[in-house]
Structure 1
Amino acid sequence: MDGTAVQQIAKLREESLELEVDGIKYASPNLEPILFEPHPEGLKLETLQGLVDLLDEPIDKELENREELLIHVVSYKKVRLYGELAGRKRQRDLYAEVNLSDGFETFPFSRFMVSEEFQIKLRSLLVPTEDQELLLQFTSRLTVTDEVVSGDDGMTQEVSLRRGMSGALKESGSFKPIVSLKPYRTFREIDQPESQLLFRMKAEEGKIPTLALFEADGGKWKIEAVQRVAEYFLERLDGIKVVS
């Protein structure tokens, strides 16, 4: 047996070394403790009400003492229910997780659409508001024969519509480029946060003018959504700590 083989055997022995101190086993080479602490697999939920129902009628004894539970609003689309710190590793058990369903369609911001598609999505994917209705009324007047002439000074968007070959003025007016709307973007059980959105039109000859909305609040709505989700639980569940 040559020296290389001896070194390999010694290395294998070293890598498999285990020590026990005060009932805890440690394994080489880094002497990490060998711990087996099983944790439950958290329930997967899709609604905030589902988590409320789980806690109002707990099916496991671990959920009966609310003072030991913690609700963490991770984001506008994720909530987690934890237990208290436990075990040698001082970890929290994850009892349940609520995730906003991927099946919900959201408004396609930053994409130009023809008037009909824009109106359908504006009507179906936003909470009714005064600005939504004004935007629907304005865009419903656009047709394939319209030529859109617009100007924007940052405060209002001046719009003129000219009809057909004659170029006769159909109508003119102004529409503010920034609108306050409430798109469906977080859990449906809470009041959707209102956002400042930028409305834009783009025209090509012989085609229906295309329309788009651009987010213009720097993502502030996400912070507001998290706060509203936290308030949802605080109003419905006594004795449970809620953090966001």
Structure 2
Amino acid sequence: MSMIKEALQYIMSFRDVQIIEHNNTKYSNERLTKLPELEPDFVKAKSLAAIVDLVLNELNHPRIADLKIIIQVEGPTEVSVYSSLDQNLDRKRLYAAGAEVPKLQLNTFIGLESMNIHLKSCFVTAEERDELIKLLGNITEEAVKTTSDDGFSQQVVARTGIATMGNVTVPNIIKLTPYRAFLEVNQPESEFLVRMQEGPKVALFEADGGAWRLQARERIKEYFESALEALINEGRVVVLE
């Protein structure tokens, strides 16, 4: 008996769906489910140039030819690309890019040699960077003097000659430019607080309130505005920060 009941239910499942309109509202005798559409294969790139190439090569694909391309700069190391809304109010995520940047050792005290290596490998060459490297290379293994710390600078023992020692001033605030955004754009410079303690050890603390992030996003946006200028003027591409 149960088999007959299941068979009848299966047959009834093929009956026509009826749409009834009442008081300007449409009703159905069946629960309707939207069938999923084919989604494009999601592409994850590692550079801004790759995103530009993808947009230029696939902008006129039949499935998105009538839609705008929206490039969202989500952060210094992350970009996402979407289509505009289609007639079904659906938006497709097409591509993304994630920058490969070195890991910065900030807000923690590390040895002088480690900091020198860190500055040489993770920061853009600049006068203040080189001066800090030189100063750290001359500091002795004696304890760092902090008794004269006035909130603006610290006095430390450093080599001033082949056999002599002397006190040198370590500035509290220094401008440095780490590699921390897509390499196609100029890296944003920002201020860092330099602190030293016994060991001797040194630490860099961010001192710009994160303003560099805004600057990095603006430079990434400018990169796309330059590379895709014609399409932006035609209204085919929109770049958001």
Q: Which stretches in structure 2 are left out of the alignment for 5+ residues?
A: 1-12, 21-25, 232-236
Deviation at 1:69, TM superposition (A): 1.2
Aligned mates of 1:191, 1:242 — CA distance in 2: 19
Checking the alignment, whether the CA contact within 8 Å between 2:139 and 2:159 is kept in structure 1 is no
Q: Say yes or no: does 1:170 pair with 2:165.
A: yes
Q: Say yes or no: does 1:154 pair with 2:145.
A: no
Deviation at 1:20, TM superposition (A): 5.7
Checking the alignment, whether the CA contact within 8 Å between 2:174 and 2:194 is kept in structure 1 is yes
Letter matched to residue 74 of structure 1: E
Query: 1:200 and 1:63, CA in 2 relative to 1: closer, same or farther beyond 3 A?
Result: farther
Aligned mates of 2:185, 2:91 — CA distance in 1: 28
Give the strand-richer structure, 1 or 2.
1
Aligned mates of 2:183, 2:128 — CA distance in 1: 21
Q: Say yes or no: does 1:203 pair with 2:198.
A: yes
Deviation at 1:161, TM superposition (A): 4.2
Matched residue, 2:96:
97
- Local SS of the residue matching 1:186: coil
CA offsets per residue over residues 131-150 of structure 1, 9 Å max, x none?
10110110010233x33213
Q: Say yes or no: does 1:143 pair with 2:140.
A: yes
Deviation at 1:130, TM superposition (A): 1.6
Instruction: Select the residue among 161, 182, 189 that pairs with 1:187.
Output: 182
Checking the alignment, whether the CA contact within 8 Å between 1:72 and 1:81 is kept in structure 2 is yes
- Local SS of the residue matching 1:227: helix
Deviation at 1:39, TM superposition (A): 2.3
- Local SS of the residue matching 1:221: helix
Aligned mates of 1:106, 1:27 — CA distance in 2: 59
Deviation at 1:83, TM superposition (A): 1.5
Query: 1:20 and 1:83, CA in 2 relative to 1: closer, same or farther beyond 3 A?
Result: farther
Matched residue, 1:13:
none
Query: 1:170 and 1:87, CA in 2 relative to 1: closer, same or farther beyond 3 A?
Result: same
Letter matched to residue 58 of structure 2: P
Matched residue, 1:48:
48
Matched residue, 2:69:
69
Instruction: Select the residue among 96, 99, 110 that pairs with 2:107.
Output: 110
Identity of aligned residues (%): 30
Aligned mates of 1:63, 1:214 — CA distance in 2: 49
Query: 1:46 and 1:172, CA in 2 relative to 1: closer, same or farther beyond 3 A?
Result: same
Over 2 Å off, 4+ runs: 18-22, 24-28, 31-39, 55-60, 62-67, 154-163
Checking the alignment, whether the CA contact within 8 Å between 1:75 and 1:226 is kept in structure 2 is yes
- Local SS of the residue matching 1:137: helix
Letter matched to residue 220 of structure 2: V
Checking the alignment, whether the CA contact within 8 Å between 2:19 and 2:29 is kept in structure 1 is no
Checking the alignment, whether the CA contact within 8 Å between 1:71 and 1:80 is kept in structure 2 is yes
Aligned mates of 1:60, 1:175 — CA distance in 2: 58
Letter matched to residue 106 of structure 1: K
- The two structures have a TM-score, normalised by structure 2, of 0.76
Aligned mates of 1:153, 1:234 — CA distance in 2: 47
Range with greater deviation from structure 2 (219-228 or 37-46): 37-46
Matched residue, 2:221:
230
Aligned mates of 1:161, 1:69 — CA distance in 2: 57
Letter matched to residue 237 of structure 1: L
Query: 1:70 and 1:160, CA in 2 relative to 1: closer, same or farther beyond 3 A?
Result: same
- The two structures have a TM-score, normalised by structure 1, of 0.76
Aligned mates of 1:130, 1:223 — CA distance in 2: 24
Checking the alignment, whether the CA contact within 8 Å between 1:148 and 1:162 is kept in structure 2 is no
Give the count of matched residue pairs.
Answer: 213
Aligned mates of 1:213, 1:191 — CA distance in 2: 21
Q: Say yes or no: does 1:81 pair with 2:76.
A: no
Letter matched to residue 203 of structure 2: A
